[in-house]
Amino acid sequence: MSDWLAQLADPNLEGLGALGLYALVFGIVFAETGTLVGFWLPGSTVLFTAGLVAAREDSPVSLTVLVVGVSVAAIAGDTVGYWTGRRLGRPWLLRRAGKAAARLPQAEAFYARYGWFAVVGCRYIPWLRAFTPIIAGTAAMSYPRFASANVVGALTWGALLVLAGYAADSLPWIRSLAYTIAGVAILVSIVAPVVGWIRRRRSRAPGQAGGA
């Protein structure tokens, strides 16, 4: 379990491992804010662990590519979220958020109170990371103001976590712990929605049968 992500960067894969890791990391970073379905993804853990992988002596993963790619993916994700909210509005957000809509008032209150700083700070709070750029769009925050917060947030969260993981490679116990946490977090992130879907199906079944 602890080496699951490191194996993606195995140099024996002749580059395919590195490309797979890039695709995984950039995809998760984008999906967390560019799509509502990504609010459950463990982006922070994955970024830190990717930095650890890049620090390995035999790793084909480039720290520069990771930092630049993560920054671009984070900026792009928030930008998509902002324009989605700006063009489609709050009713669309309520329809698409599903059960996560219960958190929407908290996210809106956070944005209303902190504005520009909310767009920056939300990067560090998983569920806020998904909602805040969309809320900034529905609230018609000026795009230049949003864009500046978007860039600052992407750099202080994404790039910084990758660099922190890279620096932490010198401490073996942190490396092993980060690999394990990342593996468990992603596994739970995948299993939890499936379990929730199965439970909802089972809870609806008696009512549907009775109605029939």
User: What is 14-80 written as a DSSP string?
Assistant: TTHHHHHHHHHHHHHHHHHHHSGGGTT--HHHHHHHHHHHHHSTT----HHHHHHHHHHHHHHHHHH
Question: Does a structural domain hold residue 210?
Answer: no
170 within domain boundaries: yes
How sure is the predictor about 7, in pLDDT bands with cuts at 50, 70 and 90? Answer: low
Question: Is residue 115, in this structure, part of any structural domain at all?
Answer: yes
Asked, for residue 67, whether it belongs to a domain, the answer is yes
Contacts of 196 (CB under 8 A, 6+ apart): none
CB burial of residue 150 (10 Å; 0-12, 13-18, 19+): buried
**Structural domain count, the chain:** 1
More confident residue, 183 or 127: 127
Q: Does residue 73 lie within any of the structural domains?
A: yes
Among 104-118, 168-182, 183-197, the range of highest mean pLDDT: 104-118
208 found inside a domain: no
68 has pLDDT over 90: yes
Which position has the higher pLDDT, 13 or 185?
A: 185
Q: Model pTM?
A: 0.69
* Mean pLDDT taken over the chain: 75
Tell which wins on pLDDT, 73 or 19: 73
Q: Considering the domain boundaries, does residue 212 fall inside one?
A: no
**What confidence category does residue 212 fall into, taking pLDDT thresholds of 50, 70 and 90?**
very low
Residues of the domain holding 92: 6-183
Whether residue 191 lies inside any domain: the answer is no
Q: Where on the phi/psi map is residue 202: left (φ > 0), alpha (ψ -120 to 50), or beta?
A: alpha
